[in-house]
Amino acid sequence: MSIDSKQIEYAAKIIKSGGLVAFPTETVYGLGADALNPVAVAKIFAEKERPTFDPLIIHVGSITDIDRYTLPQNEYPYLLAKVFWPGPLTMVLNKKTMIPDIVTSGLPTVGIRMPDNEIALSLIRTAERPIAAPSANKFGRISPTTANHVRKQLPDLPCILDGGHTQIGIESTVVTFNDDGFIILRQGFITESDLLKIVPKSQKGVQKSHRLESPGMLNSHYSPRKPLFILGEQMPEINKTKAALISFTGKNSEGYKFVESLSQNQDLKEASVNLFRIMHQFEDADIEYIVAEPVPLEGIGIAIMDKLHKAAYQYQNKK
């Protein structure tokens, strides 16, 4: 979907004057503010009802912005940016002091990525500053993959740039680095094996500070407002006529009131595109439960299962 330059200019003006704009990226819609303006960034936390201990990603318009906003480390971030930017890879690097503490929840590091979406890139370039943006949903709820999903959760937002359905559908992979390689902080569209082709994996593992402070790793997240269970895992007896199935294999679908397929061809990329869209659809449907078939734990399937487990966590682990 195209957007004319007038809309981009209008949105950029809002960003420059300290307001909020929702915009599409290739992964999910973001809720953006001027990353260099702490008062503007505070509005993101308020609008999302997001705890301020959960740091934001800054979105930039070029690879050279790594040098502009972060301190030199080793060559790994550049090697990965050359291959995966613009694209769904966020790198957590030591920040320069110009990045306000509220963006990073007081951490010395900042998450930075260059999105692969023309509307997002035009907005960043027209606003002439990095844009801090989390996914444009209320904290803990399902991430938006359409402008309507944003409207549903943030109805009072005055500016939502509508870029149609996002092409990838799940969030970026978040990585950080040790001197011996990368560490994945959040699973996403770019997989460990994609990264391993370019840079080694750190053998030292996640430092404690990263583990505690990357709430993308919180157990519960992406929750629909209806109980979600994963087939084959701990779940109560449910009445299938009051349930909807997120199907993957095409089997196991008898008896459900609604069935939606993640991918008819069992293609994991297609499944990632459809996951949040189907979760939004079932959250609003006239049913009581959502049941999801597991997908294979390989490639992007790892990130998809991670999202499903987080969506199911508060329901499956109820005593």
| Contact positions vs ligand TXA (CB under 6 A) | 25, 27-28, 30, 54-57, 88, 90, 92, 104, 107, 109-111, 115, 133-135, 171-172, 174, 185-186, 210, 213-216
DSSP state for residue 18 in the 8-state scheme = T
- Helix (H), strand (E) at residue 42: helix 38-48
User: Which sign, positive or negative, has the C-alpha torsion 310, 30, 137, 209?
Assistant: positive
Which does residue 12 touch among ligand TXA, Mg ion, none (CB within 5 to 8 A, set by kind)?
Answer: none
Under rule CB under 5 A, residue 247 binds Mg ion:
no
Under rule CB under 5 A, residue 214 binds Mg ion:
no
User: What amino acid occupies position 77?
Assistant: P
Cβ-based neighbour number of residue 49 at 10 Å: 10
The residue among 51 and 255 lying less far from Mg ion, judged by its C-beta, is 51
Binding mask 85-124 for Mg ion (x = CB under 5 A): ----------------------------------------
- The β-bridge partners of 70 are 95
What is the distance of C-alpha 131 from the center of its chain?
Answer: 15
Task: Name 29's Cβ contacts closer than 8 Å, sequence gap at least 6.
Answer: 22, 23, 135, 136, 143, 144, 145, 146, 147, 149, 150, 160, 166
The minimum distance between CB 93 and ligand TXA, in angstroms, equals: 8
Residue closest to ligand TXA, measured at CB: 216
Q: Please select the residue that binds Mg ion; options are 135, 173, 187, 247, rule is CB under 5 A.
A: 135
The residue among 61 and 144 lying less far from Mg ion, judged by its C-beta, is 144
The minimum distance between CB 68 and Mg ion, in angstroms, equals: 25
